Amino acid sequence: MVEIKKDGLEKALSKKSDEPQKMSKEQEIAFHQGALNTLVNERNEFFKIIQNVEGVMQAHIKRLEGLGVKIQVRKNE
């Protein structure tokens, strides 16, 4: 997993100069709330994709077992 450097957030947001962008407290709160809402929605969509992939994999496994192929489950490498 990639480590996220939280203390570099202000610098990342102000790429034009070394000075952090000036925004009011309310603007900054809204910015971070919007970012979190977007990320939560992205995470939820990613979870749906994982569920769909798992369902298709299970269907293939079930069919292979029906054809007499023994399936071994491997742990994540």
- 20 within 8 A of 14, measured Cβ to Cβ: yes
Burial class (CB in 10 A: 0-12, 13-18, 19+), 28: middle
Distance CA 22, CA 12 (A): 13
Q: pLDDT, tens digit, for every residue of 27-64?
A: 999 999 999 999 999 999 999 999 999 999 999 999 99
Average pLDDT over residues 18-33: 86
Residue 8 confidence (pLDDT) above 90 = no
pTM reported for the whole predicted model: 0.59
49-57: which pairs have CB atoms within 8 A and are 24 or more residues apart?
Answer: none
Confidence of residue 19 (pLDDT cuts 50, 70, 90): low
- 58 within 8 A of 50, measured Cβ to Cβ: no
